[in-house]
Structure 1
Amino acid sequence: MMNLLKKLDALKNDGRPIIACFPLYPPLALFHSMGLAPVVVWGLRGHVSGTETADRHLPSYTCSVARHLTEFILSDARDFIDGIFMYNACDTLRNLPEILTGQLAAAGRDVPFFHMHLPMTPRDQTEASGYLKNEIRTLITNLSDRFGVKFSSEKFQNSVALYQRMRELVLAVQDQAAAGRLGFLDFAEVMQAGAFMPVEGHIRALEDLTARPGKHNAGASKLPMDNTIGVMISGILPPQPSVVNAMTAAGMTVAADDIASFYRSYAVMPEPEPDPAEYYGKFYDDHYPCPTLLYMGDRRWAAFMDRLRQSGARAVIFIGEKFCEYEYFEFPYLEKRLAEAGFPSLRIEISIDDDQHTGAHDSRIAAFSEMLRGR
């Protein structure tokens, strides 16, 4: 398990101001080009011990994503964070900035908050490109004023090129994992660590991973490929190691992922160009569909099925995050459409304390595998 505080300390020693970002798709290349160190504080289960501080400010029916990131920023990472960035998402996340900045100020930390409003209206119904471009330009101005850095078009294009290289490597590693040459947990470990390291370090970690097929971490043991059932996993967060190990023990392998913090984050990326407003207009308009990007709802099913069919997976396992309003709306619809298309599906809901209680999930996964073998 990675030590997030050590990673933050290493970033701090590099001299770049650390900006904590949420939700999933912040303008990372822009931050990098302006000398900042962005970290995506999403899916911190297993890296945050308890939620005592967060629970003073958030109700118990809040998802683990919000509770963990609140706990992390207000306790462990409080003295490391130099800024917080977010764009609009669910109601829970929309209310976090006031809580975070207020509590940090009470602790004597003047941490600036940077906000960008991402238009959520369908692009074929409302022209919002001008508004979004203005939001990007305003963000650049605010970052420049706060951190005393000037925007450079050349540096921005160089940063975009680095993230493009990272994306190429992620796709290559993902293909190795789907083919059984790497364990899915090896892939997941490097992806989650990448959220807390400079893109240059993430590139090196991915290059190291592609160079060592056959030397696997947990979750890598496979049945012979002709006996293994390929499934696609889908959800806001990746599955816990215990879930992946249960899938492996049941003779299933991850043939593809539709995980928000994994494939949906890097599936589509525009080519570098000098104007960040133009670049991020394309970045958000052409993004791989995700329920957190409400304006892409009409494209979601087609993209989901393309991913499923291209992977050759025989079924889908939904990794549900308890109290996630996006998944509560999306999963029933996808399950219905999958059944109509002849694809079985299994939904697993993970709560904040399920690290210690996985037996029920193991049994359902084993039964699902038996059902697939009997088809």
Structure 2
Amino acid sequence: MPGLSEVFRAEYGRAVAVLTRVLGDIDLAEDAVQEAFGVASEKWAADGVPPSPAGWIITTARNRAIDRLRRDSARGAKEAQAAMLFTAEPAEEEVDRLRLIFTCCHPALWQAARVALTLRLLGGLTTAEIARAFLVPEPTMAQRIVRAKGKIRDAGIPYRVPPPSELPARLPPVLAVIYLIFNEGYAASSGAALVRDDLCAEAMRLARMLGTLLPDEPEVRGLLALLLLIGSRRAARTNMDGAMIRLRDQDRSLWDAAMIAEGQDLVRGCVRRGRPGPYQLQAAINAVHSAARDVTTTDWAAILQLYDQLMTVAPTPVVALNRAVAMAEVVSPGAALAVVNGLDLERYYLFHAVRADLLRRLGREQEARAAYDLAAGLTANEAERSFLRGARTLDG
């Protein structure tokens, strides 16, 4: 039976989405769900976890919201709103989170705020975790989330999935939300565990839902392929003690063959469509990795070529950093280091980790150790920090 923290991670987003549909108010829904988890922390400690913890949370949150509406209502309008809660149809829970994503990702909101708010409401991530994902200070992210929720309320942004004619324009921020939820699950920004399977599974489920909604949209298929191909490695990412294992050292027999096969099939379908986008290209890169039996048989030239294409459609510093990793294999570590040194990613721990590896390969041990120290100091994940500190002490 899961504990409170596991239920929170798995069900917080669903509960907020369901209560938003029922209440028509995101703030009220989130407050009610948070109150319900507060009650659960006391009752479950005494009585144990109920057979249906998600249902218990949603019911308790609904009742708390009803109580609040009744306390706050002066006359009939509020009382009527509260009474409606008892007769609200429970159907359509499967699309509630999708509705909430599109609401949070409305064009009236700033794009970074859309993603941050959805991560907060759908993924149940803390403000601190989201701030680390965006590489911004926590107070900045807190203000961003508050303003986004206020904009939804003040602008009367509807809680619905857009009609088909609007979906293509509304899709990119939704894809970004799902990808960031997956990334937080695949490489948790804080805590002892490197991987949070609940968030990975949630991102994949949302990607599949989008695929059902938009079966002919290649970027949706590309995102799902990307999540499957990366997610196939989860079992090989850590050892029995939870220590991180880098890609080149993973036991590839532990990779999920079914997920790889599905992801590769999706990539082949994307190639046939001939409309490449950022997620499709990233999926293709990971398809090349998944086709190799080990790092020595990896087609790095193909990966570098795909990164060249990716840089034309998504020329970001992080893409350039990843491209440099492939460049080190195809050209030289020195050429890759020259590219990395020109990137403005000083607050990104993987920038320093990549730089440290390149410096070590060039025999510049003292500089490499300093870069590993910087990388370890910038991650709040204990598994990553331990790995980086261990890499620092290795002989060249």
Q: TM-score, normalised by structure 1?
A: 0.29
Larger radius of gyration: 2
- Higher relative contact order (CA closer than 8 Å, sequence separation 6+): 1
Larger strand proportion of the pair: 1
Normalised TM-score (structure 2): 0.28
Q: Which has the higher helix share?
A: 2
